Chains A and B, each alone.
Chain A
């Protein structure tokens, strides 16, 4: 099985709100002083790709990321957890919220470096949170797509999947070729790299393709017209309930809750 995994480099989504700053009129936050990381759901997808390779000997995992040259950092991380190959689709700045544009460039890159039997992506990137690119890539490649997948294993000529649903999960059999978008689950937390593999990763080649050299499908669909990007309104801080000891704190808390009539 030839597996491709789409990775996005994003501002660390765990950064605390007060370090996150927006210039007035800007349509992107300032990235000064905030580390960039692999988007967390892409890490889950990467782990699933590695597990599938283990379950299906002879498979390969190719990590693909679109972004400026520094994006190579996250491709090195993918190589360090033993991805077989890495491809950088180079553009000038980190991709913004134009999902149709991003998906058509990635679809063209997949066609050029493939053909792939399976394409994996996170359910959404932890910056714009749109949850669109994986499914759009599927449409553009003409592949079927299963979203919110947590587990996958080879079955017959295709895959047997678990897909998260509102109150449990669905077991789904899917044919290849296929696109999956992946959501978090205790079974797909990304493994830690081995020291030796980190060193090897620095020596592995990363193929660079200029996005402008790709025959990206043109879409008639214009990007969103962003009118504003603002911080949400500030909220008042909590009233801290104190006391001599835990027993008194608990009693006072219950009293406050009764006063607020929420019990």
Chain B
């Protein structure tokens, strides 16, 4: 029988939010197709999450039992995934820096099709049908992919199972690793210090673009963020100018976020930026240009120079939130 695979990640015994979404999606696909859902847990450390992975939708939690897989190393991971993918009908990876790194190479090694950045995946007439934004979100492509396919799926586009699933089996696979394939070596991982709330978890995000006019503008945004307990984001325009670090970039090629409130300040609303906030509940924009595309995505808009509005907004919010 063919299998559907999901690549999972976990912090100790807790699968990440993204993993729960992918397992929910994988479970629904497997049910529709009458296939088995197998979850890969690379390295014994992730193995601690095996029980939770079964509850989140997998029929089998496959622990790749080799300590050198505990940390991400693409060449070793590709070797292990290729070796353990048995009759894959579909392989689901997150559309993040790991999944996007692996997907094309894994598809090539499995001689399968490749569909990246999916935002909707279903099973119809014996094949995967998937949708993805193209042209920076100006169009949506729907494709049918018969035969084995490797997919990456964007965060916040699939829902985790509503109720935990019971049953399932935990398997430990001993994988043979050959270090001769390693030509890229991690020297150091540098974590950027984020003050305040992480963007991925933030209920409120204040985000700035080229319209802020300089790095000082982001210092002003910090004040607003502090009052709102918000995370801080940026457009690519602001990142390229060095006003904000790359890890603040929101959008199709930055972070995909899902806050209740997204305050876009001095951001024009390019489709590539808006792709990162597609699931934000309420978008508010402050922009001097009444014709800026951001106003056709936002719920509320202010047409003004942010420098004149921000001080009043900070005072008014501070007063409102004290009550």
Binding site for B on A (CB under 8 A): 11, 13-14, 16-17, 20, 22, 29, 41, 97, 99-100, 123-124, 126-132, 134-136, 138-140, 144-148, 150, 160, 163-175, 178, 183-186, 189, 219-222, 224-232, 235, 237-241, 246-247, 249-251, 253-254, 256-258, 260, 262-263
Are the CB atoms of A229 and B300 closer together than 8 Å? no
- Measured CB to CB, the nearest residue on chain B to A250 is B312
B185 touches A260 (CB 8 A): no
Assess whether B316 is in contact with A254, with CB atoms less than 8 Å apart: yes
Contact B186 A13 (CB under 8 A): no
Residue of A140, A184, A229, A250 touching B313 (CB-CB under 8 A)? A250
Q: Is the CB of B143 within 8 A of A238?
A: no
Residues of B within 8 Å of A257, CB to CB, are 261, 282, 284, 300
Bitwise, B123-163 to A at CB < 8 A (1) or not (0) is: 00000010011111111111111110000000000000000
Which residue of the partner chain, among A135, A164, A230, A232, contacts B137 with CB atoms under 8 Å? Answer: A232
Sort A-B residue pairs by CB-CB distance and give the 9 closest, nearest first.
Answer: A250-B312, A238-B301, A186-B242, A135-B104, A144-B183, A238-B298, A168-B192, A139-B108, A262-B261
- Alpha-carbon distance A166/B228, docked complex (angstroms): 24
Decide yes or no whether B116 CB sits under 8 A from chain A: yes
Looking at B33-41, B55-63, B164-172, B245-253, the stretch in contact with chain A turns out to be B245-253
B105 within 8 A of A: yes
Contact status B247-A20, CB under 8 Å: no
Q: Which residues of A contact B136 (CB under 8 A)?
A: 13, 126, 129
Contacting residues, chain A, for B138 (C-beta < 8 A): 17, 20, 29, 231-232
- Give the docked Cα–Cα distance between A22 and B281 (Å): 29
Indicate which residue in A99, A145, A169, A251 contacts B312 across the interface (CB closer than 8 Å). A251
Residues of B within 8 A of A254 (CB): 313, 316-317, 320
Of the candidates A130, A166, A172, A189, the one whose C-beta lies within 8 Å of that of B116 is A130
Contact B304 A260 (CB under 8 A): no
Q: Does B109 belong to the interface (CB within 8 Å)?
A: yes
**Structural contact, A263 and B133, CB atoms closer than 8 A:** no
Interface size (B, Cβ < 8 Å)?
90
Rounded to whole angstroms, the CA-CA distance of A134 and B101 in the bound complex is: 11
Pick 14 A–B contacts, CB within 8 A, sort by A.
A20-B138, A135-B105, A145-B74, A166-B247, A166-B255, A169-B192, A170-B187, A170-B189, A183-B253, A221-B111, A225-B146, A246-B312, A262-B260, A262-B282
Measured in the bound complex, the distance between the Cα atoms of B97 and A17 in whole Å is 28
On whether the beta carbons of A174 and B284 are closer than 8 Å, the reply is no
Among B24-32, B83-91, B233-241, the stretch in contact with A: B233-241
**Contact B184–A175 (Cβ < 8 Å):** yes
In the complex where A136-B104, A138-B105, A189-B240 touch, is A168 in contact with B300 (Cβ < 8 A)? no
**Chain B residues positioned under 8 Å from A168 (CB to CB):** 189-192, 247
Say yes or no for B100: interface residue by CB 8 A criterion: yes
Task: Name the B residues within 8 Å of A183 (CB-CB).
Answer: 246, 253
On chain B, the residues within 8 Å of A240 by CB distance are 290, 295, 300-303
Q: How long is the Cα–Cα vector from A17 to B293 in the complex, in angstroms?
A: 9
Separation of A104 and B68 alpha carbons in the complex (Å):
32
A97 to B142, CA, bound (A): 12
A contact residues around B48 at 8 Å (CB): none
B residues less than 8 Å from A150 (CB atoms): 246
Contact A225 B308, CB 8 Å, known A165-B189, A167-B191 = no
